[in-house]
Structure 1
Amino acid sequence: MRILAVLLGLFLLLSILFDSFETMVLPRRIKRRLKLSLFIHNGLWRGWVPVARLLRSPGMREVYLSYFGPLLLLFMLASWAVGLIVSFALIQWGFSSPIIAPEKIATFETYLYMSGSTFFTLGLGDVKPATVFTRFLAVTEAGIGFGFLALIIGYVPVVYQAFSRREAQITLLDAHAGSPPHAIEWLHRQHNMQANEEEMGDVLHTWELWCADILESHLSYPALLHYRSQHERQSWLAALTTMLDICALLLVGLDGITIPTARFLFAIARHTAVDLAQIYHTSPRRSAYNRLSSEDFLRLGDALGALNLTFRREDAEQQLSEMRKLYEPFVLGLADYLLIDIPSWLPGSHPVDDWQTSPWDHFAVWSQAKLEEITHLVIEHKRKLPYQR
């Protein structure tokens, strides 16, 4: 029994040290083996999702889900610390290490108390090691505890820095493609700004770098997949899907637009979607929901026609469908797993961006409804004015 306790303690100690090191310090692998952190994530997420599905309000559901990412990170740190304390207690108890304690006979609870006091370097002195070997184990635990807490906690800001970089670019997308973002809305606003192909290519190159950053940071720290954006209608997955949609349209071919950068962005964006789907074994899914039906494709063609854009190929619908098959199953799988809404191909009739809304804007003079009303009156007034040379 005591030998099994020692072996179990050693196994637990080495497993936690390796798991924490690979997760926080050297997390660069796509294929995840069976690890303690993976069991922690799966157990918490399986208990978290059913409650989220019961919440009917999208706002409440989003707020509830936003707590999971940070809590997962904190819970993993706490689990590793508790596991190290228990592992050293098992080793000390398994060796029946002599200790000086108020109890006449040291129990496992006594060793557990001494292990916790040593790990957090409390130095209370009520329970002390009595032999050289016991002191060696205590010093070893104190060193591991001090180094573990300093190293792991020191890497926590790295996670939040990656989150901030991700959200900054997503926030910029609000004015460029709407909230939630849409590919056709992005083209519409680029057309309104009279952006040329070079300027559009620069924008897509910026998103190419963003996808590469997302791929590296979220593979390194998978908890970031659960970090939600600050606004309800924005998310990293919606932004990634929009970029893939834009590239799909450009690669199928639009008369008057040739942007080679779209091919590079599509490659890295699809790479990001596929690799992130592998982290938690989120298999690609064929959803019953069709993001672009034949009716929607006709409406898409009309929307492009309003921008003086047309497809180069007669079989554009089939080609676009083939392009969508390369990434939509992975995106839909991630969306279903993470409970994130992804945008449709076509925006609503009156899209309102997040920057145009606030609790005060709905009633203020500068509200979206008021702005549209004023704009309409100005246009009508100009039409009634006599023509002037």
Structure 2
Amino acid sequence: MAAFAPIALIVLFLIWATALVLGYGLLLYGLRAEFRPELADFPEAFYVSASTLVPLAYGDFVPEQGWARALIVLESANGVAFGALAITLLFELYGSFRSREEAVVALDALAGAPASAVQLLETAAGPTMDGKLRETFDEWQKWAAMVLESHLAYPLLIYFRSSHDNEAWINSFGAVMDAAALVLSSVEGDQSAGSAKLMFTIGNHLVEDVSWLLFRNPGDAEAIIEREEYAAAIVRLKAAGYRALDGDAHWQKFAKMRAKYAMFLNRMAQLLSAPPAPWVGDRSYLPHRQSRRRRPAPKAAS
């Protein structure tokens, strides 16, 4: 999976170039009598088309009449335009990829690698981290908007993996979404709640659009997290100094919020072969997931 995106990009360029050469080759073959020497068969027309698009222009076949000359000029211009388009696309893809990955790498200092929502909140609660959590949510709100626009415009970007060990953009995004959900559902009086709400809203927009693009049916809405995992996270947040609450109402609110994006995160993590991360990835081992997969025993024949 790591090599899929680069290979797919190369194949895409090859398909475009082959389609142009083939199309112009068919047109040139229809005008074969206007060349000197005359094009004997389609392979010769294909050769003339390819050497014009690149362009090589050996001059062994010369167009001598108007339509053939016009077609050669047009294909040569298309070759220049194709090269410019390919270079522009490469720069655009790299720029979007770099912008996405800069935030992922920067998050390591707060959330670790692979990223963890609880570690993010713990680090942001440090004595010298005033306002850092709000700043992080604001940055990732902009990040989510950028990824939403760029990855819908160029879906191939989704498959470009992070270049650092134990990192994946889907894991980092999931950690920030989980952190926002924890703040909004289970933490009282935190000044970052407003930024968390905005980030959570834009993040869900990203989830909805990309999941529809890739999966059409992203699956059932599930929190895909155990109550014990949530309780352990609340204990850590209390130890970090947050006014965290873990009653049934708060758990249900967190589970409801996480159900909006958890299935997408897990399916994306599996699709991209992302490294295992807390709360993101293959969660089929969880007790409640296993119980749902068990089928009832067949009834004994009477």
The TM-score, its normalising length taken from structure 2, stands at: 0.84
Question: Secondary structure of the equivalent of 1:233?
Answer: coil
Question: Secondary structure of the equivalent of 2:55?
Answer: coil
Query: What amino acid sits opposite 1:268 in the alignment?
Result: I
TM alignment of 1:76-115, pairs within 5 A: 76-101=12-37, 106-115=40-49
Q: Matches of 2:55 and 2:66 in 1, distance apart?
A: 19
- 1:205 alignment partner in structure 2: 138
TM alignment of 1:1-389, pairs within 5 A: 65-101=1-37, 106-196=40-130, 198-258=131-191, 259-281=193-215, 283-286=217-220, 291-309=224-242, 310-311=244-245, 314-341=248-275, 343-345=277-279
Q: Matches of 2:197 and 2:100 in 1, distance apart?
A: 22
Query: What amino acid sits opposite 1:75 in the alignment?
Result: V
Q: Matches of 2:39 and 2:110 in 1, distance apart?
A: 71
Question: Secondary structure of the equivalent of 2:92?
Answer: helix
Question: Secondary structure of the equivalent of 2:166?
Answer: coil
For the 8 Å contact 2:186–2:254, the answer to whether it is kept is no
For the 8 Å contact 1:254–1:312, the answer to whether it is kept is no
Q: Matches of 1:73 and 1:147 in 2, distance apart?
A: 18
Question: Secondary structure of the equivalent of 1:280?
Answer: helix
Query: What amino acid sits opposite 1:108 in the alignment?
Result: F
Q: Deviations over 1:239-288 (max 9, x none)?
A: 11111101111111313424211110001111112222233345313499
Q: Deviations over 1:303-346 (max 9, x none)?
A: 22322432275411111111111111222232233332462249
The CA RMSD measured in Å over matched residues stands at 2.3
Single out whichever of 146-155 and 129-138 deviates more from structure 2.
Answer: 146-155
Q: Matches of 1:97 and 1:294 in 2, distance apart?
A: 78
Q: Deviations over 1:339-359 (max 9, x none)?
A: 32462249xxxxxxxxxxxxx
Question: Secondary structure of the equivalent of 1:285?
Answer: coil
Q: Deviations over 1:155-182 (max 9, x none)?
A: 3112112111111111111110111111
Query: What amino acid sits opposite 2:105 in the alignment?
Result: T
Query: What amino acid sits opposite 2:265 in the alignment?
Result: V
For the 8 Å contact 1:284–1:332, the answer to whether it is kept is no
Structure 1 pair 295–97 and aligned structure 2 pair: CA distance change class (3 A): farther
Question: Secondary structure of the equivalent of 1:260?
Answer: helix
Query: What amino acid sits opposite 2:169 in the alignment?
Result: W
For the 8 Å contact 1:237–1:331, the answer to whether it is kept is yes
Q: Matches of 1:112 and 1:323 in 2, distance apart?
A: 58
Identical amino acids, percent of aligned pairs:
27
Question: Secondary structure of the equivalent of 1:192?
Answer: coil
- 2:283 alignment partner in structure 1: none
Number of positions where the alignment pairs a residue of Structure 1 with one of Structure 2: 278
Q: Matches of 1:105 and 1:269 in 2, distance apart?
A: 58
For the 8 Å contact 1:226–1:338, the answer to whether it is kept is yes
Query: What amino acid sits opposite 2:187 in the alignment?
Result: L
Structure 1 gaps of 5+ residues are 1-64, 347-389
The TM-score, its normalising length taken from structure 1, stands at: 0.66
Single out whichever of 276-285 and 181-190 deviates more from structure 2.
Answer: 276-285
Query: What amino acid sits opposite 1:329 in the alignment?
Result: M
Q: Alpha-carbon deviation of 1:87?
A: 0.5
Q: Alpha-carbon deviation of 1:80?
A: 0.5
